[in-house]
Structure 1
């Protein structure tokens, strides 16, 4: 039985887009009275929209090919710039209504300059921003951290999404930055690929360069299971997942599948556990109880769990205290602002805490902003992240 498509939501969206474009055109015509302005504008809108619809229809057979990526990015930039232009236009029109004057041509010209700036920012995000790796360092204090691990450092990356990479030199710069941290432990918190295991193959030699004295460990993310592409049958999908697990081994990463390992130092220990992906709305596969089955209540525990919603739903309430959880998944939506004391991204409307450190009941969570990118082939304001966490003792407790 064919799935019915609801016409009403599509009609509402079409009407809203028409009104938005009509309002934008009214602003453009304020500074351009050329008779060709209107047909050229609507012709461009029609071609852009038609190309987007065509690329979406053929995506079923061709996947997210070059045409799809180009049309979706053009449409996204066009939509955002129209929203920005309309916002400035509306402010000017409100002032015009209050003062009962004419639409200010200079204000419209200023709005167009802002639009140009937005376009430049998008171009930067697509060309450079997605590879603008930065290191973010945190120092966390614990009363019950074993003394031998005082000053222990962990480098974390997440969400590689290898299928999106095109620039090997840029990726290598990111790898070099990871290596330069010289941390005691390296962890990767899921989404090695977009959909298929083969995506990581060209990048194995890059990521296998990362080594740490206490080892390299990893977990799976929601994209690693191949849930978002069609397969001939379940056997093919299962084989893809098995191949991906083997690639983790080729990278030199110990993949933790609802299990834990003990890290020893000078006769003392901490526990590193990892779960399969557990995320609200993204598959609740992981088994935290199984991952912690071999641990004791007073062990110092670090957990790798791809989706931060797992921390809020299970980890922070678990009777066996997990001191630090390392997650990723959100990407900070690859768009936002973190400057001048402002920390904002649209992803905050899905995840209250979406990047960096938070804590509750003496239990910490770090959300890495992601090493790679997905969907939008760029980053604006939310740059790719390499996290370095230093563990410190806050008292003289043994």
Structure 2
């Protein structure tokens, strides 16, 4: 993180300097100039102080707010400066290459659009829940389960919540789907089990006639903070497992259960977190499926989507549908008219929505909560509803 900060600030400074051309073309007011530069200098200084002097682990809330302010300053200008760049190209071929006032005005208008979009996302986006629906067809789905519905939630991150009204809005939306089964794919908390204390009554309200099941995510193990001892960390994990029970979820720890309906059944498998790179690999798919028949229709809950290509698709027993989360869609991106983009796509091949390979499906939930950035921009919090159909 510390190594990236100077690069980010240099890029931000270059964008500021270039965008300033539009401001300078439209006014010579020194107060406007002072406000323009002072705001960014204070934000940059705050970020440097928080990261270098306080440390990321000791000032996460301060850094998240400062980063939000930086995005408000940086992204709109970055989107606006191509207008100036096009004008600069034409100025090379003009006899009197004076910058046009109307082009500078257009630059500011273009920058204003993402500014207000960012402002909405950072202030209201964290509870701007959206339902995403998919209907999936399978040849091996038992007839009794034709039309069976799943509501998937992921990445609650209770330690980030501050609004009881906002959280209840999402819970009510999930219940309103009236799904047969509710599945939660990990990251109930940011670090500590105690973060859920205030939210147990709210999440206990989630209901489904065929039950509620869950798995652990990378944040649930408490690996990202310093504990007094390994025993304290283990005690925290044990407490978190009890919280799953308190809110009515059956936590699957590298194990499988059968969901029965009208004399038929499907198998639900849950593995502990398995992540690529430096993430701990607690998940054991072999152990979770050792008692599962190959001819059973199988749904896997695995927090990290990288597990799908790395292990699940290669597994000796066919897994029809995998449900994951983890990426949050980076809480920043664009989803419009079928177009979907976020910087997280350069880290995870499967980062939001439905993926299909070898006649098997992966669905990556965009997440219910938020972490780091105190909001969501373009990639809204999600309640996913999947309908299973028999071909």
Aligned to 1:291: 288
Alignment partner of 1:83 is 2:85? no
Conserved in 1, the CA contact under 8 Å of 2:157 and 2:190? yes
Question: Structure 1 CA distance, aligned partners of 2:368 and 2:229?
Answer: 31
Q: 1:344 to 1:10 in 2, by over 3 A?
A: closer
Alignment partner of 1:203 is 2:199? yes
Q: 1:143 to 1:213 in 2, by over 3 A?
A: same
Aligned to 1:392: 389
Alignment partner of 1:272 is 2:286? no
Shift of residue 13, structure 1, vs aligned partner: 5.3
Classify the secondary structure of the residue corresponding to 2:349.
coil
Q: 1:24 to 1:250 in 2, by over 3 A?
A: same
Alignment RMSD (CA, Å): 1.9
Structure 1 unaligned spans of 5+: none
Question: Which aligned pairs between 1:38-53 and structure 2 lie closer than 5 A?
Answer: 38-53=33-48
TM-score after normalising by structure 1 = 0.92
Aligned to 2:138: 142
Counterpart selection for 2:225 from 223, 226, 229: 229
Question: Structure 2 CA distance, aligned partners of 1:61 and 1:354?
Answer: 26
Aligned to 1:305: 302
Shift of residue 21, structure 1, vs aligned partner: 2.7
Deviations 1:284-323 (A, max 9, x none): 2200000001101111111000011001111011110001
Shift of residue 38, structure 1, vs aligned partner: 4.6
Question: Structure 1 CA distance, aligned partners of 2:386 and 2:30?
Answer: 61
Q: 1:236 to 1:63 in 2, by over 3 A?
A: farther
Q: 1:203 to 1:20 in 2, by over 3 A?
A: same
Q: 1:75 to 1:304 in 2, by over 3 A?
A: same
Conserved in 2, the CA contact under 8 Å of 1:189 and 1:326? yes
Q: 1:304 to 1:12 in 2, by over 3 A?
A: closer
Classify the secondary structure of the residue corresponding to 1:55.
helix
Shift of residue 27, structure 1, vs aligned partner: 2.9
Q: 1:344 to 1:18 in 2, by over 3 A?
A: closer
Conserved in 1, the CA contact under 8 Å of 2:155 and 2:326? yes
Question: Which aligned pairs between 1:321-332 and structure 2 lie closer than 5 A?
Answer: 321-332=318-329
* Deviating more after overlay: 326-335 vs 90-99: 90-99
Alignment partner of 1:176 is 2:169? no
* Deviating more after overlay: 120-129 vs 210-219: 120-129
Aligned to 2:109: 113
Shift of residue 20, structure 1, vs aligned partner: 3.0
Q: 1:30 to 1:366 in 2, by over 3 A?
A: same
Structure 2 unaligned spans of 5+: none
Q: 1:58 to 1:262 in 2, by over 3 A?
A: same
Conserved in 2, the CA contact under 8 Å of 1:29 and 1:37? no
Question: Structure 1 CA distance, aligned partners of 2:11 and 2:312?
Answer: 43
Conserved in 1, the CA contact under 8 Å of 2:22 and 2:105? no
Aligned to 1:374: 371
Counterpart selection for 1:251 from 247, 255, 258: 247
